[in-house]
Structure formats: C-alpha cells, structure tokens
Amino acid sequence: MKHMRKILSLLLAVTVIFSLTGCIQNLKLGSNAVKNIDKKEPAAVSAASGTAAVESVLSPAESEVLSESSAEPAAVSQPAAEEVTSEVIAFDPSWEYAANSKINSGTATLYHAKPTGSRGIVVCVNAGHGTKGGSDVKTLCHPDGSPKVTGGTTESGATEAMAVSSGMTFLDGTPEAVVTLKLALVLKDKLLDAGFDVLMIRETDDVQLDNIARTVMANNMADCHIALHYDSTDFDKGVFFFSVPSADVYRSMEPVASHWQEHNALGEALVSSLELAGFKLFEGGAMEMDLTQTSYSTVPSVDIEVGDAASKYTDDILNSTADGLVLGVDSFFKANPKS
Ligand SMILES: [Zn+2]
C-alpha cells in the first residue's frame, strides 16, 4: 500500500508538473501573441494616420500619386520622405561682390520642395525692407563704384545708397515691410506646392542682410531673385517692375551687361501673369530704374512693385498676387529652361 501511495503521489506530481509546464508554454505563447499585436497594430495605425495627414495637405492629383505608391511594401516610410525640408544659409564672405555688403550677420532659409514633383529650381523670395539700422549705413550702388544713372530713392549721380531703406508706409499706417513679409510667406507656400525650392531672405520683422547681401545670396543659392515691394505713391497705380535702364553706360557695366536681358524677361513674365490674374498694370508694367539689386545680380532678378500705399492687401488679394507670381515664375522657366 505504501508503494502504491508513493506511486500515486509521484504520478500526481508528474501530472501537476506537466500541466504547469503546459500553462507556462501557453503563457509564453500568449505573451508572444500579445507582443505581435503590440508590434503590428500601433504601427498600422500610425502609418494610416500619417498618410491621412500628408494627404490632407496634398492636391487631389498628388494624393492619387501617394495612394498608388502606398500599395508598395515600402509605402510606410514614404510619407516621411515627402516632406518639405529646409536648411539655414549663412552669408559667405568669399562670394563675388560680398565685400561690398556691410550688413550680413543674418541668415536666409532654403526650403526644398517635396521630392515628388520637385522642379530642381530655386526661387529667391526677398521680402523688401525689414533690416533694422539699414538706412543708417551706405553701400556702393554699383560694384565698380560708378554713379547711378537714374533717380529713385537715391538721386541720379550718387555712388552710394542706403544699405536697406525702411520702405514706405501704407495709407492705413502699416509699414511696407509688414505687407511684403505677409506676401512673401504666402508666395513661399505656393511656390513649394508648385515644386519650386525657395530661398527665403526674410521670414520675420528683421533680418540683418542688406540689399547687396540679399542679392549676393540669391546669386549663389538661387536660380532667380524676386524682391517684393509696394511703391510709395498713393493712388493705387497698379503693378509694375523696375526694368534695367537703357543707358549704354549702365548696360555695358558688368554684371549688368551679361544679365540685363534675363532681368527684364523675368519682370515681363511676372507682370504679364499678374495682368492675366486680373491686376492692372501701371504704364505697361515696367519702369526703368538703376537699383542696387540689379546692379549686382548674376541670376534673373527683379524688383516688382505689386501695388502702392493705397493698395488693399487682404488675404484674398495677397493670395491672388502670389498665384500670379507663381504663374509668372513658371512661364519664365518654361521659356528659359535652367541649363
Ligand atoms: Zn519697397
């Protein structure tokens, strides 16, 4: 009997051990199953919401491209690569004409369009004015120190001009620099949406970059340079750009001699597109002016006056202005492809 009891209790112990092991194995399996669920589900959720977030900022056509590629196995990581990226650009004193700049401690920002649909073209958007202390400093109007051939903010014959003037004031008391900045920020987003990279010279009230520094940056980092301004007259005159003066002495001076035709072509493209967008042009849309900007530009470069002190600048108007400018940039580069 004693033996039988021993055998029975041994059997019992073995059974208990077996069933315990089974439980543990089940538990292990169970925890693996939980782990797998942990791994899969949140990833699936975040991928889905990530795609939704990206899609919400894309046009229907772009969303279609994205959802088509989402069917591919690598689609989960794709939305991250489809973001606009940016880098800070500092002034490089070794750039040509850099030595003529006197205010250049500020930085610009280069925004790269989403890789899908990128045009590989950099547009410099220069929100006119907005450099504290800029009107107290003088810089050379021309790289070679020769005198200005037209009047303007600085009179004809002068060799030096304000490094950056403070700009005009709208009839409602708003400084020009506030409105050029608003327009620049709208234009930046529209250019990026259209596949252009954008070099933003100024994105806040103040940037310590004078007109020469802004121009030299655009020369080296961009494929064209658009400075946004409103004119100081107050009769809502319409849109125009400052074209390169026809004076022989000016058009034979470098870098104007090699680039004045492309400056004028860019200006014509911008005002033509603004006219198509419903804006009235002032006297055909061009006025000859000897500007520091065009005197130092080695890429297609224009100072465009999109209105004056009496112009309205509601969100709707700024949107339409930016739409017209994007069309103008597009038509310019279609007619003059980047080599
Ligand atoms: Zn201005």
CA of 229 to the centre of ligand 1 (A): 4
Q: Is 123 helix (H, G, I), strand (E, B) or coil?
A: strand
CA of 176 to the centre of ligand 1 (A): 7
The domain 84-335: what is its CATH number?
3.40.630.40
Asked whether residue 234 carries a pLDDT value surpassing 70, the answer given is yes
CA of 168 to the centre of ligand 1 (A): 7
**CA triplet 102, 182, 179: central angle to 5 degrees?**
75
CA of 303 to the centre of ligand 1 (A): 9
CA of 131 to the centre of ligand 1 (A): 12
Q: What span, in angstroms and rounded, lies between the C-alpha atoms of 138 and 329?
A: 32
Higher pLDDT, 241 or 26: 241
Q: Are 160 and 299 in contact (CB under 8 A)?
A: no
CA dihedral 264, 266, 271, 273 (to 10 degrees): 150
CA of 254 to the centre of ligand 1 (A): 25
Q: Is 196 helix (H, G, I), strand (E, B) or coil?
A: coil
Q: Where are the domains of the chain?
A: 1-82, 84-335
Per-residue pLDDT reduced to its tens digit, 73-123 = 555 555 556 899 999 999 999 999 999 999 999 999 999 999 999 999 999
- Measured distance between the N- and C-terminal CA atoms of the chain, rounded to whole angstroms: 103
CA of 33 to the centre of ligand 1 (A): 66
Per-residue pLDDT reduced to its tens digit, 134-143 = 999 999 999 9
